[in-house]
Structure 1
Amino acid sequence: MSVRTIATALALTLASAGLAQAQAPKNTAQAKPQQTQTVAPAPTRIQQFKAWGAYSYKSGASTVCYVLSVPTTKEPASVDHGDIFFIVSQRPGQNISYEPQAMMGYTMQANSKVTVTIDKKNFTMFTKDKAAWVENAAEEPALVAAMKTGHAMSVAAVSGRGTKTSYNYSLQGIGAALKQIESCK
C-alpha cells in the first residue's frame, strides 16, 4: 500500500470523524468525536500483517492508532470506485477503542445504510458523505470480534448516483494488526 494511499485514508478519516457526530442516529450508544484538525499529520506504518496494516499518528498530545485494509474485489467492476478502505481506529486520548469505519471513494446516497457481512452475520452502518460507522455503537465490539474470527467480509453500499456497490476484504492478519495497536497510547 502506498504512502499516498495511506495519507488519503488518514485525511478522509480525520475529515469525516466530525461529520459522524453531527449525523449520528438517535439509537447510537456513543457519540462520535469531532475533529477540528484540518491538516492531516503524516501516519507512521507500524507493521503490515498480511492484508491489514497497523498505523499511528500524533493528534495533539495523544496518539491515534488504526488498522486499515483495502478490498480484494470491487463490484461493479465497470465503475470508478476511488480509494476504498476499511479502518478500525483506537484513540485512547478520546476514550475510543476499536471503532470500525468504512471509507468510500465517492459520496454515498443520503440516508442510506452500509451493510457489513462477516460469515453470514450482518452489521448496519449509517452514512455521511464518504464514510460509514456502526449504527448502534454497542455493536462495535461484536463487529470487531467477528472480524478477528471470521473468514470472509463484504461491504455493500449505494453511491449518491444510486449505484449498488460491494467490496470483499481479506480478514487475514486483522487479529495480529489489532493486537499491535492494543497498547496504543
Structure 2
Amino acid sequence: MTFRKLLTATAAILLISSAASAAQTPTRMNQYNDWGTYAYNDQSGKVCYILSTPKQMQPANVDHGDIFFLISQKPGQGIAYEPQVVMGYALKDGAKVEVDVDGKKYSMFSKQESAWMENAAQEPQLIAALRAGRSMKVSATSARGTNTSYTYSLSGVTAALNSIKDCK
C-alpha cells in the first residue's frame, strides 16, 4: 500500500469512526501480503482493524476514489470482526452492496460512502469464507447510478485476522 493510500485509509477510518473526534491517528502494525493491520485508541479502548484495497476496479473509465475493505475488532464496544466497505464516492440510497467470496454472496446495507452486513449474524460466515477463499468481489451502485465492482486478493487475510484476534 502506498504512503498516500495509507494516509487516505487513516483519514477514512477516522471519518467512519463513531469516535472520530476522540480517536488518535491509527498506527500501522504489520502487512500480510495484501492486507495491512492497524490500531488506534478511542474513548471505549483499543480498536484494531485489517484493511485492503482492490486489485481491479470496474468500470475502468470512472473515477472511483479510494476504496477500502476493512474488518474491525472493537473489544470496548463488544464488536468482533465487523466487515465494512468504504467507497470513494456516495452510494445510492437504499442500494445494497454485494460481497461475493468464491461464489458465496453476502448483502450489505449502505449509508453514504460505507456499507455493513445487512444481517450481522452472517458476519462469522463471511469471515470464515474470507479465511478459506481465494478472491472477493464487491459490487455497488453509486449515487449517480453507476454500477461498480471491485476485486480483492485474499492473500494474507487469515494472518491479518489472526494478528488482531487479541486486540485489547
Asked if 1:100 is matched to 2:75, the reply is: no
User: What is the CA distance between 1:43 and its match in structure 2?
Assistant: 1.2
Cα deviation, 1:119-176, whole Å, max 9, x if unaligned, reads 1000000000000000000001101110000011000000010000000000000000
Q: 8 Å contact 1:100–1:133 — kept in the other structure?
A: yes
1:131 maps to which of 107, 114, 126: 114
Equivalent position of 2:167 in the other structure = 184
Cα deviation, 1:43-65, whole Å, max 9, x if unaligned, reads 11111000000111111361100
Count matched residues: 168
Name the one with the larger strand percent: 2
Q: 8 Å contact 1:7–1:43 — kept in the other structure?
A: no
Equivalent position of 2:39 in the other structure = 56
Equivalent position of 1:9 in the other structure = 9
Moved more, 140-149 or 38-47: 38-47
Q: 8 Å contact 1:11–1:40 — kept in the other structure?
A: no
1:78 maps to which of 61, 66, 85: 61
Cα deviation, 1:58-113, whole Å, max 9, x if unaligned, reads 11361100000000000001000000000000000101000000010000001000
Q: 8 Å contact 1:118–1:147 — kept in the other structure?
A: yes
Equivalent position of 2:157 in the other structure = 174
Normalised to the residue count of structure 1, the TM-score between the two structures is: 0.86
Unaligned runs of at least 5 residues, structure 1: 18-34
Unaligned runs of at least 5 residues, structure 2: none
User: What is the CA distance between 1:3 and its match in structure 2?
Assistant: 4.2
Identity of aligned residues (%): 50
Paired with 2:44 and 2:147, the residues of 1 have a C-alpha distance of: 41
Letter in 2 for 1:136: N
* Aligned structure 1 segments of 4 or more residues deviating by more than 6 angstroms: none
2:100 maps to which of 111, 117, 122: 117
User: What is the CA distance between 1:41 and its match in structure 2?
Assistant: 1.9
Paired with 1:169 and 1:119, the residues of 2 have a C-alpha distance of: 11
- Cα RMSD after superposing both structures: 1.5
Map 1:8-47; keep pairs closer than 5 Å. 8-17=8-17, 35-38=18-21, 40-47=23-30
SS of residue in 2 equivalent to 1:139? helix
SS of residue in 2 equivalent to 1:157? strand
User: What is the CA distance between 1:13 and its match in structure 2?
Assistant: 3.3
2:139 maps to which of 149, 156, 159: 156
